[in-house]
Structure formats: C-alpha cells, structure tokens
Structure 1
Amino acid sequence: MAITIKTDEEIELMRQSGHLLAKVHDELHAALRPGISTFELDEIGEKAIRALGGIPNCKDYEGFPASVCISVNDEVVHGIPSKDRILKEGDIVTFDTGLIYKGFHSDAARTWGVGKISDEAQDLIDVARDSFFEGIKKARAGHRLNEISRAVDNYVTSHGYGVVRELTGHGIGKSLHEDPIVPNYKKFWPGPKLKKGMTICVEPMITLGERYVGWLDDEWTVVTVDGKLSAHYENTIAITDGEPEILTII
C-alpha cells in the first residue's frame, strides 16, 4: 500500500472525525472510577461514538469484540473489555479507540489513573504523553519519518523507561491502518520524507520496566513480560506546511 496524500477537503473530514473522537475520550475519562467494569466503559464509549454519528472502527476489526480497547496496568494495548474486570483505586487504564465519520477514520489513545495513583505511575503516564509532543516537533514537511521516532525514543529512554518495539504507529485515512509504519524507536533508516497532506498516528507505548511484551491467550491483549506498568498516548495528526495539526484534540 502506498502512502496516501489527502486533499484539504479530506483533511477537513478527518478533522471532524478527530474532534468527535476527542469528545468520546472526554466521556470515557469522566466515567472512569473505582468499581466500574471495563465492559461498562466499553458500552459508554460505543454509545458516545454512535450518538455523535460515528461508527466504532475497533469493533469487529479483525475480530476484535469491542468498541474500545481497554488495557489495565501491565496491559500495553488491545485489552478486551470484560464484566469481570472491575477497576480499583490506584489502577492505570488505557483507552485506545477510534471512529469512522463520513468515510474517514480517527484514532487516539489515553492512559489515566483510577482515583489516587502512585507518583511512579503518574510519571510514567506523563512521560508517555510528553514523548508524543517531543516526537511531533519533528513532524514537518521535508523531515524524515525516523526523526519523529528518534525524538520519541530519546525522550522516553532519557527518563529511564522502555519503548515497546513490537507495536507501532501508522498512517490513517479511509482505512484505519495505512502506510507508513511509524515506529516509536530510532532505526538505522531515514524512512519516507514527510509531505503536506500525510495523516499519521503517532502513539508511544512505554514501560516502567523492560520493554519486552507478550500476548495473552486471547491473542489480543499485549502485556509487559515483567508485569510492570505500561502507558500509551496517541493522536491522529496531519502534516502541513508548518506545524503539524493534531486532529484528535479540540
């Protein structure tokens, strides 16, 4: 699949999709509390998506059974919501979800604490978020993709955390996953040159301990091998003539 360059009209539709998704994330965050199940949160997320006129793009994607990937503590991504998974004070939770609006996808992830969390957990969450913003400083037309990856990697590792390598960001548009792959770690290749009209998801996934991950028997949930916490932060962005535009923040 080749990298697609979007027209101004297509970027506007992706902007609309992204702004709707930002509202969904606000609702999910507002609902997060000790005692709620991840199944209930998924229901809230799907209801919000559909009420806004969107279609959940995670649901049934390659067989995924829910509208929101909800990952708790050592779960990195793709946690399956369950009535039996009841959140408690001190947990950290990642919502990774997206929607389709007028034919265009948006995708974003946030990690939040449940009630009062440890300083250690909060710092991990903060570094994941801040590494995204360090990365997109390089997301300018004429730069190479690996400049984003290197900036994320350098920021995370400078704080002593691990960068997951088995999962990456990606292009996005009329499909949820398009070219190019957007690694969160520096590689020994420059990657494609960034051009105005490219739309990509930059999504650092970082770990409190070792960077290594594995898959549970459900074949979806990715966890840290050492059982330590993980945090994830993602936005859909558009490359412009100047600073990148974050499409999934209002």
Structure 2
Amino acid sequence: MSQNETEQMLQEFKSNGYIIPHPSLLKTPEQIEGIRESAKITTQILDLVEKEIKEGMTTAEVDKIVYDYTISRNAIPAPLNYMGFPKSVCLSINEVVCHGIPDNKTVLKSGDIVNVDVSTILNGYFSDASRMCMIGDVTPAAKALVETTKECLDIGTKQVKPFKSINEIGRAIEPFANQRGYTVVRDLGGHGVGLKFHEDPHIDHFAKRNKGVLMLPGMVFTIEPMINEGGYSVKVAKDNWTVTTRDGSLSAQWEYTIAVTKSGYEILAW
C-alpha cells in the first residue's frame, strides 16, 4: 500500500469516528529492536523469579533478585525511584491488584498468589511485563482465577491487528471474564511503552462502545488485564501506590509488551 493510499484510508477511519494515533507513537524498526533487547531482560528476570520465589521468602528478597539481575545486565529497574516508588519491582499479593511495594516484613506463605511486575530500561528503551506466581498449595478458586486471567491476556492479545480499534481488546476480555464469574478492573489499564515508561495510548480491558484508537504498525503497548474475584472497584492505600480490591477479594494480573506489526502482533516481553 502506497503512502497516499494509507493516508486516504486513515482519513476515512478518522471520519468514521476512530482516533488516529500521533506519528510519534509509531516506533521505527531501530527503536523496536531497542525495546526488544530491553524486553529480553524483562523476560529473563521473570523466568528467574518464577524459579526462585518460594514460601518463607520476604518480598524484599524477591526485590533484590530483580535488582541484582537487572544491574548485572547493565540495565536499570524502571520502577526504582519512579515518581517516588522505592523498589525495583512491584509485588502484589492476593487482594492487592497492583503496585505492591516489597519490604522486609512481608513473608510469602503457602496459598498466596503473587503478581510479579518487572519493568526494565536498557539503553533508554523500556519494557514491561508481569506474571502470576502461586506459592505452595493454593486453593482451587485462587488457581482458577490465575489461569482465567492468563486466558484473558491471551484473548486480548489475539485482537491486536493493524487498522483495528484498540477497544477490541477490552471487548474480548470482559465478556470472557464475566462468563467465568469475574470482573475486570476499570480504573487501571495498559499503556504505551518503549521510549518512556508510560506513553499513550491507554488500553482499557473492559468493553467500551466507542470506536477508540486505531492500532497501527509500529505501536508498542502493554496488555495487562487485572481480574477480580469480586467486584471491580479498587482503592489506593495511604502509601499512594498499593492498589487493592475494595471488597477484599482476590485479584490477578498478567502482562505482555506487544508490538503491532504489518500483519498482526509480536509479543516482546512476557
């Protein structure tokens, strides 16, 4: 497709109510390669934590694993000192939805489900991904929530395709989660990433009716559904970071960094 044909097609989408992303949000092949290298480290860190995390370990010990490995790869933990966040990784346990702060007092116990959210800066390029870890013997209900949330992530990812609305991601995730008896957090979502920690566009994981932002080749963003066992309402703790379910129910989250390609998508960090 020629440049003129592409511009004409984008104009038609715009006239039909779609939001066309600013050209600055479209990464060059060189930039995507830089993000890809950062993402390799993020994925390696998650592999390492998944192997090492265990009952009896403090969340501060998990944070040290992340910090030490990141520094050993000449990279920087993106969360560390970001807007005052004091640690290198977000660890969110049970009813904590996201942004849990590691400390020396919190000890992982059998039955916990833990979201490990890793973000890495390498040579100025950012990547971001998270996984759920199940500690010891978890209940069947907790395991089902963790597994369904991963399915939600994969279902949302399959919606990524150029010249398609980014809202298709949430339109696919929410009905699936609801069918399983869960709710989707609405106050938080995915985000653009790559040259900064958080960029446009915002990605909602619940169904929205409007046309929304059009996905185009070169866009890089996260998909990170937060799925609750109870209601979707959340609250922020006094530390201004830790987000929990308002009703105290369990929550789970998985996250990829995704690049939109000419034919579909590439998962960069997982």
Normalised by the length of structure 1, the TM-score is: 0.97
1:223 aligns with 2:244: yes
CA-based RMSD of the aligned residues comes to 1.1
Aligned 1:42-191 pairs, distance under 5 A: 42-191=63-212
Deviations 1:73-99 (A, max 9, x none): 100000110100001011111111200
Contact 1:147 1:190 in 2 (8 A): no
Q: CA deviation at 1:13?
A: 1.1
Instruction: Kindly provide the amino acid, as one letter, of the partner of residue 104 in structure 1.
Output: Y
Q: CA deviation at 1:56?
A: 0.6
Q: CA deviation at 1:52?
A: 1.6
Q: Unaligned stretches of 5+ in structure 1?
A: none
2:133 counterpart SS class: strand
Aligned residues: 249
Q: CA deviation at 1:188?
A: 2.2
Identity of aligned residues (%): 38
Contact 1:90 1:113 in 2 (8 A): yes
| Structure 1 runs, 4 residues or longer, greater than 3 Å off | none
Distance, in Å, in 2 between the alignment partners of 1:244 and 1:159 is 27
Q: CA deviation at 1:243?
A: 2.6
Deviations 1:22-52 (A, max 9, x none): 0000111112111000011001111111112
Distance, in Å, in 2 between the alignment partners of 1:74 and 1:57 is 24
Deviations 1:85-124 (A, max 9, x none): 0010111111112001121100011111101211111110
2:153 counterpart SS class: helix
Aligned to 1:5: 26
Q: Unaligned stretches of 5+ in structure 2?
A: 1-20
Structure 1 stretch 107-116 or stretch 231-240: which is displaced more?
107-116
Distance, in Å, in 1 between the alignment partners of 2:127 and 2:186 is 23
Distance, in Å, in 2 between the alignment partners of 1:52 and 1:31 is 18
Q: CA deviation at 1:190?
A: 1.5
2:214 counterpart SS class: coil
Aligned to 2:222: 201
Aligned to 1:28: 49
2:80 counterpart SS class: coil
Aligned to 2:58: 37
2:181 counterpart SS class: coil
Instruction: Kindly provide the amino acid, as one letter, of the partner of residue 66 in structure 1.
Output: K
Distance, in Å, in 2 between the alignment partners of 1:228 and 1:22 is 29
Question: Which entry has the higher C-alpha Rg, 1 or 2?
Answer: 2
Instruction: Kindly provide the amino acid, as one letter, of the partner of residue 89 in structure 1.
Output: S
Distance, in Å, in 1 between the alignment partners of 2:32 and 2:240 is 34
